């Protein structure tokens, strides 16, 4: 490979990597928030919705050894919606983005409020009861 061709290839590769990163961020890369379980409730600090650049996240994901499937929490102004990430079709783990949760197994899709919107899913996601105080979000398991 000639030097000029090599440099051109490297430049395109770097530009592609930057573009991929920008695309991933714009479609809402998954952030795994820290949490604790107290009296059968998941407790999450509201600060988990703020990123290092002080920008608000649209959603966060909670993984915990005591959960069979992760919980995805979406923020709508001052309200929160907590959804199980277990697909209601055949129990695959869903992949969340800013506006929906997509199933990698058969392509089913749910809205960010848990409503089944694309087949083969026809049953809404399990939604957890959420409460808040000044500092934290509590999800009843």
Positions touching ligand FES (CB under 6 A) are 87, 89-90, 92, 103, 105-106, 108, 120-121
Cβ proximity to ligand FES, 8 vs 106, nearer residue: 106
The span from the first CA to the last CA of the chain, in angstroms, equals: 59
Least Å distance between CB 32 and ligand FES?
21
Cβ proximity to ligand FES, 33 vs 125, nearer residue: 125
Per DSSP (E only), the strands in 39-89 are 41-45, 59-62, 71-76, 79-84
What is the separation of C-alpha 137 from the centre of its chain, rounded to a whole number of angstroms? 16
Name the percent of the chain in helix, strand, coil, to the closest 5: 20, 35, 45
Cβ proximity to ligand FES, 17 vs 104, nearer residue: 104
Least Å distance between CB 101 and ligand FES?
10
Cβ proximity to ligand FES, 125 vs 139, nearer residue: 125
Least Å distance between CB 94 and ligand FES?
7
Least Å distance between CB 121 and ligand FES?
5
C-alpha to C-alpha distance for 57 and 32, rounded to whole angstroms: 11
- Please tell me the total number of residues recorded for the chain in this structure: 141
β pairing state of 36-38 and 32-33: unpaired
């Amino acid at each position: 490979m000639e030097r000029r061709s090599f440099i051109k290839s490297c430049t395109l590769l770097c530009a592609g990597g930057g573009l991929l990163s920008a695309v991933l961020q714009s479609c809402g890369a998954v952030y795994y928030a820290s949490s604790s379980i107290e009296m059968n409730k998941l407790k999450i600090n509201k600060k988990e919705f703020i990123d290092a650049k002080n920008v608000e996240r649209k959603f966060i994901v909670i993984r915990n050894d005591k959960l069979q499937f992760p919980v995805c929490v979406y923020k709508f102004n001052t309200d929160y919606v907590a959804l199980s990430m277990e697909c209601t079709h055949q129990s695959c783990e869903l992949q969340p983005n800013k506006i929906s949760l997509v199933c990698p197994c058969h392509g089913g899709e749910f809205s960010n409020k848990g409503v089944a919107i694309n087949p083969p899913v026809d049953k809404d996601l399990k939604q957890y009861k959420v409460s808040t105080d000044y500092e934290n979000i509590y999800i009843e398991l």
